[in-house]
Structure 1
Amino acid sequence: MGSPPPTIRKRADFLAANRGTRIVTPAFILLIRSRGDADPALRAGFTVTKKIGGSVVRSRLKRRLREIARLELPGCGLAGADHVLIGRSAGLTRDFAAMRADLVRACAKATQ
């Protein structure tokens, strides 16, 4: 529960994560890809397409995704991997506790 994981900022890192494991949930799509470097830190990235809505709506969904990542990724994420959460329209109305549970399940599914 503490500080948020470091954030992915470069487009190349997002594209690399897209070649990794993809887990679909009602509120978001989780992409996980091991970086293969010596750094054990996990990183998180967040994106929402313009199809979802205007900038206010997209920002609201990104804030929700950042918060569930801050709360759950340190415990369930893969060390040395990039985690990208792509927001879906259901993420705007889905219960926050359900979104947290979705992230835990998605991380567990990725480790299998």
Structure 2
Amino acid sequence: MRVGFTCSKKVGNAVARNRAKRRLREAARAVLPELGRAGYDYVLIGRFESTASRDFEALKGDLAYALEKVHSA
């Protein structure tokens, strides 16, 4: 399984983009071993305001929900 992280300049300056990517990396590290599937490639996209300011537990919950939805189809 491979994971990519991206944030556009709409997220903010380099500091804001890196913070958003760090949060996404940690959420992926916590959730993907349980819910991710081998052979899949995942791309997590940081969004303006919501990625950096969202509660971390809610961010992990969002990722878990998205993975369940993707794999149920």
Q: Aligned runs of 1:50-89 on 2, under 5 Å?
A: 50-89=9-48
Alignment of 1:23-38 (within 5 A): none
Tell me which of the two structures has the higher relative contact order, counting C-alpha pairs closer than 8 angstroms and 6 or more residues apart: 2
How many percent of aligned residue pairs carry the same amino acid? 52
Give TM-score, length-normalised by structure 2. Answer: 0.94
Equivalences for 1:1-112 in 2 at 5 Å?
A: 42-89=1-48, 90-112=50-72
* AA aligned opposite 1:107: L
C-alpha separation in 1, matches of 2:71 and 2:29: 19
Q: TM-score when scaled to structure 1? A: 0.62
Distance in structure 2 (CA, Å) of the matches to 1:66 and 1:92 = 12
Q: Whose Rg is larger?
A: 1
More strand by share: 1
Structure 2: any 5+ residue segments left out of the alignment? Answer: none
More helix by share: 2
Cα distance in 2 for partners of 1:51, 1:67 equals 21
Measured on the aligned residues, the alpha-carbon RMSD in Å equals 0.6
